[in-house]
């Protein structure tokens, strides 16, 4: 992506010319900085910026979207922070507000999400968190917030606080990056007291900085680490760019999504997947995952957050040097469409590898996605049909159309399942066999435990050569058998129709006239 290329150039330029050595500088802002000229900020050498997104369970900073969008467009690496309000709300309420507003601005190319935990100065008064919570209570609140956000985004949050609370919070939180407030210090001097943390990630070294493009004072920050460290933090070093670095996914009964991206991935040089029909020179910049099968049937779901047109393939073998493709999914739906690959006949306990890349010759502008692996044990799911009716006339001429409707239902506990196809047949006896005529096979339901029913309707053409008589429209649910059901007997339903000989009948009038005098007195 252009923004990331700019970032790498800035950092490389800085090192070569000795301007900052490896000191990576940034700012943090909120609505109080007003309208910001982000291009000037970028030109001044500020590499990153944190933007206030939310506070408490309802508040959204009115400048958040403008700042994070314009900052990224100017080449600044952006991140979002949340001002904690444990005095009023639960950690889950606060986290939910942040995720609803800023959840899309996490992951590759962004700074980690931040929880700002400090005393609350509002309306001329100060609420001291240490008066309201013991260290254990406040630690539990913070832990719940960071866990909730990490589970949703797949990114480990950073905690912003001052020296007082860095020592007040329990050491169990020091597994999270620390952004320590140390105003009136030098960007090159390490903080002298970081409480229960062993290391620090960012330091806020001034509350009264001046930066071109911003009117008035602004907070100044420095990153603790090298260029490689910074790039790794924001996801530019793609961990799973090669098969050997494949990320291990858990197989669950429901989709437990992991964030992923093909941004900045490179091609492994492998042949394109078997289902990839792109005729040009495919870029195939791929990333890799692996999982241990917990069922003979597993579904791999990839849900893009942007314009990724994902190709998903599955491999088996002893290691990365000896893999064979066994399944593939490319639905042809285009940019941003989800892919669901259901593989059958797997061996429980065996490791399988997943490869994901973008279709075509050009990378997407946003290659981020969520991926999960799910299983459904045999006997726990079912597809059934109900309410089969003919909504047009039940008598139809051969060669003409009839409108048929049915409701397809899902019973089970899966959040994501493959498209469940519904086929329509013309049948003499409402029993599916070789004599039945397939009328339509492109209708499907996107059903799951959250949305278990879908009403389907199709206009069907009765073949012109059909012999007049009584027939049924035979509906067949899960016609492609993507669900391992506990009851296959309820997959069909019928609605009766009568087919006539195809000669339209009508009553009409003609030759109207007056045979007596046309003058009446």
Q: What CATH number has the domain spanning 243-375?
A: 2.60.120.380
Would you call 456 a catalytic residue per the annotation?
no
Tell me what the mean pLDDT of segment 147-164 comes to.
95
pLDDT digits (tens, 9 = 90+) for 361-386: 888 888 888 899 988 654 567 888 88
pLDDT of 516 over the 70 cut = no
Residues 221-255 as b or e (16 or more Cβ within 10 Å = b) = bbbbbebeebbebbbbebebbebeebeebebebeb
pLDDT digits (tens, 9 = 90+) for 128-144: 999 999 999 999 999 99
The helix (H) or strand (E) run that includes residue 92 is helix 91-102
**Exactly one of 28, 316, 381, 484 is catalytic; which is it?**
28
pLDDT for the residue numbered 377: 58
* Cβ–Cβ < 8 Å for 447, 462: no
**Exactly one of 55, 61, 94, 116 is catalytic; which is it?**
116
Tell me what the mean pLDDT of segment 77-101 comes to.
97
pLDDT of 18 over the 60 cut = no
**Sequence-ordered list of residues with C-beta below 8 angstroms from that of 14, at least 6 positions apart, any chain:** 20, 21, 22, 23, 45
Tell me what the mean pLDDT of segment 52-79 comes to.
96
pLDDT of 113 over the 60 cut = yes
pLDDT of 165 over the 50 cut = yes
Residue 288 three-state SS: strand
Would you call 28 a catalytic residue per the annotation?
yes
pLDDT for the residue numbered 447: 86
pLDDT digits (tens, 9 = 90+) for 171-194: 999 999 999 999 999 999 999 999
Residue 95 three-state SS: helix
Question: Helix 135-153 and helix 91-102: axis angle, to 10°?
Answer: 30
Q: What is the mean pLDDT of the chain?
A: 88
Q: What CATH number has the domain spanning 382-500?
A: 2.60.40.10
Tell me what the mean pLDDT of segment 487-493 comes to.
82
pLDDT digits (tens, 9 = 90+) for 229-255: 888 899 766 778 889 999 999 998 888
pLDDT for the residue numbered 518: 55
Between residues 14 and 368, the one the model is more confident about: 368
pLDDT for the residue numbered 521: 53
Domain spanning 2-233, CATH class: alpha beta
The lowest-confidence range among 306-320, 374-388, 483-497 is: 374-388
pLDDT digits (tens, 9 = 90+) for 403-443: 999 998 888 777 777 888 999 999 999 889 999 999 999 98
The helix (H) or strand (E) run that includes residue 316 is strand 310-317
**Residue 508 confidence class, pLDDT cut points 50, 70, 90:** low
Largest pairwise CA distance in the chain: 120
pLDDT of 127 over the 80 cut = yes
pLDDT of 3 over the 50 cut = no
**Residue 302 confidence class, pLDDT cut points 50, 70, 90:** very high
Residue 218 phi, psi dihedral angles, 5° rounding = -150, 150
Between residues 178 and 514, the one the model is more confident about: 178
**Where are the chain's structural domains?**
2-233, 243-375, 382-500
What is the CB neighbour count within 10 angstroms for residue 491? 21
pLDDT of 13 over the 50 cut = no
Report d(CA 194, CA 188) in Å as an integer: 16
């Amino acid at each position: 992506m252009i923004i990331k290329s700019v970032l790498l150039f800035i950092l490389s330029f800085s090192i070569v010319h000795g301007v900052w050595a490896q000191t990576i500088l940034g700012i943090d802002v909120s609505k109080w900085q007003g309208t910001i000229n982000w291009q000037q900020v970028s030109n001044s050498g500020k590499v990153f910026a944190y933007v206030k997104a939310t506070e408490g369970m309802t508040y959204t900073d009115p400048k958040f979207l403008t700042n994070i969008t314009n900052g990224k467009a100017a080449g600044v690496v952006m991140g979002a922070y949340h001002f904690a309000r444990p005095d009023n709300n639960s950690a889950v309420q606060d986290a939910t507000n942040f995720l609803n507003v800023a959840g899309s601005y996490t992951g590759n190319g962004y700074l980690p999400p931040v929880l700002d935990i400090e005393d609350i100065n509002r309306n001329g008064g100060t609420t001291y968190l240490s008066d309201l919570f013991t260290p254990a209570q406040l630690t539990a609140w913070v832990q719940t917030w960071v866990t909730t956000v990490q589970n949703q985004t797949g990114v480990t949050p950073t905690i912003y606080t001052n020296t007082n609370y860095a020592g007040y919070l329990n050491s169990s939180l020091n597994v999270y990056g620390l952004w320590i407030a140390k105003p009136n210090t030098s960007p090159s001097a390490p903080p002298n007291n970081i409480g229960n943390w062993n290391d620090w990630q960012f330091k806020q070294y001034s509350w009264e900085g001046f930066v071109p493009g911003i009117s008035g004072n602004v907070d100044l920050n420095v990153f603790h680490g090298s260029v490689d460290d910074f790039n790794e933090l924001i996801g530019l070093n793609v961990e799973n760019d090669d098969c050997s670095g494949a990320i291990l996914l858990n197989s669950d009964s429901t989709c437990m999504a992991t964030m992923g991206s093909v941004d900045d991935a490179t091609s492994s040089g492998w042949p394109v997947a078997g289902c990839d029909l792109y005729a040009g020179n495919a870029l195939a910049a791929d990333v890799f995952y692996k999982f241990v099968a917990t069922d003979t049937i597993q579904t791999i779901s990839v849900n893009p957050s942007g314009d990724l047109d994902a190709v998903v393939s599955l491999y088996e073998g002893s290691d990365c040097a000896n893999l064979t493709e066994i399944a593939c999914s490319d639905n042809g739906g285009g940019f941003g469409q989800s892919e669901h690959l259901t593989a059958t006949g797997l061996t429980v306990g065996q490791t399988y590898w997943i490869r994901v890349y973008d279709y075509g010759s050009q990378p997407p502008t946003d290659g981020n996605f969520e991926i999960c692996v799910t299983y459904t044990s045999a006997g726990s799911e079912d597809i059934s049909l109900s309410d089969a009716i003919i909504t047009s006339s039940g008598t139809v001429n051969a060669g003409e159309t009839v409108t048929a409707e049915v409701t397809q239902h899902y019973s089970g506990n899966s959040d994501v399942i493959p498209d469940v196809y519904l086929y329509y047949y013309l049948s003499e006896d409402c029993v599916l066999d070789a004599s039945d005529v397939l009328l339509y096979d492109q209708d499907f339901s996107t059903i799951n435990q959250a949305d278990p029913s879908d009403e389907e309707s199709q206009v069907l053409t009765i073949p012109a050569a059909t012999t007049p008589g009584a027939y049924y429209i035979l509906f067949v649910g899960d016609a492609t058998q993507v669900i391992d059901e506990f009851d296959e007997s309820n997959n069909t339903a019928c609605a009766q129709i009568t087919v006539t000989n195809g000669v339209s009948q009508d009553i009409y009038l003609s030759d109207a006239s007056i045979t007596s005098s046309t003058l009446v007195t």
